[in-house]
Amino acid sequence: MSRFLPKSCVAVAVGLMTLAAGEARASVVLTLKSGSPTAVADGFSYTYDAALNNDTQLQTGDYFSIIDFVGYVPGSVFSTNPNVIASTVSTTPFPPFQGYFDDPAIPNLLFTYNGPPTTGPISDLGDFGAVSTNGPGGRLIQTALSHKQDIDNGPYDVLEGNTTGVRGPSAPPHAPAPPGIILAGLGAIGMIGFAACRRWAVA
C-alpha cells in the first residue's frame, strides 16, 4: 500500500482546518460599543466600532457584514463613514476560506467600502449598526472581505476573509451555535480526517 496521502484527503482536511483558523486573524473587527444597545422607539439601537488590523487594506468593493441581524427594523441600518455604504441583504457572499450558516429569511447588515485604498492599523473606522426589535443577549456572526499583501510584501492584491463572533440582538430559538464553536468543530473534523487518511495510507 502506498505511503502517500491521497490528495483528496489532504485537500479536505486542510480546507477544514483553514476555515477553523479563519477566526485567528480577523482583518476587520466589529465590537459592540460601550453602552449599546440603547432603547429607542422601535426597539434597541445597536452601534458597533469597526477596526482595521495591521497589514490589511480596504479597497473599493470590500465589505464587512453582520449575519442574521434578528429583529431588524427596515431602514435603520447606518454608517457614519462616508466611504462605507450601509445596506441589508438576504445573504452575504462567503469571503475566501470562510463558511457559516446564513438564513436568507433574516436580513444581514452589509457595509461596503467605496473609497481610496485604506491601510491598517486603524482603530476606529466609524460607527455602524442598526435597530432591532430584539433586546441584547445574542451572539451573531461577523464576516469581512479585505486585501492583504502577498508573501513578498508586494502590493495589496490578495483577498483575505475572516469570520468571528459579535454581540447583538437575542437570537431566535433555533439559532446556530456561536461561530467559535462551529469553527473549532470544523478544525477538529479536519484533524481527525487527516489522521484517518494517514492511517489509511500507512496500512
Q: What is the CATH number of the domain that holds 154?
A: 2.60.40
> What's the pLDDT score for residue 110?
98
- Residue where the block lists cell 500507512: 202
Residue 89 lies in a domain: yes
Answer yes or no: are the C-beta atoms of 65 and 142 closer than 8 Å. yes
For residue 24, the model assigns a pLDDT of: 42
DSSP line for 85-106? EEEEESS-PPPTT------TTS
Q: How many domains are contained in the chain?
A: 1
- Domain-located, residue 195: no
CB 74, CB 87: distance < 8 Å: no
What average pLDDT does the structure give for the chain?
80
Q: With respect to residue 183, please indicate whether it lies within any of the assigned structural domains.
A: no
Q: What is the mean pLDDT of residues 26-42?
A: 93
Given a cut of 60, is residue 10 above it in pLDDT? no
pTM beyond 0.75, yes or no: no
pLDDT per residue as tens digits for the range 19-30? 344 344 568 999
Q: What's the distance, CA 169 to chain centroid?
A: 17
Lookup: cell for 101: 450558516
The residue segments making up the domain with residue 82 are 25-174
**β-pairing, 158-169 with 108-113?**
unpaired
Kindly state whether residue 192 falls inside one of the protein's structural domains: no
Evaluate whether residue 184 is within a structural domain. no
In a domain, 187, yes or no: no
3-state DSSP call for residue 152?
coil
Give tens-digit pLDDT for 135-194: 999 999 999 999 998 777 778 888 888 899 999 999 755 444 445 444 445 455 555 554
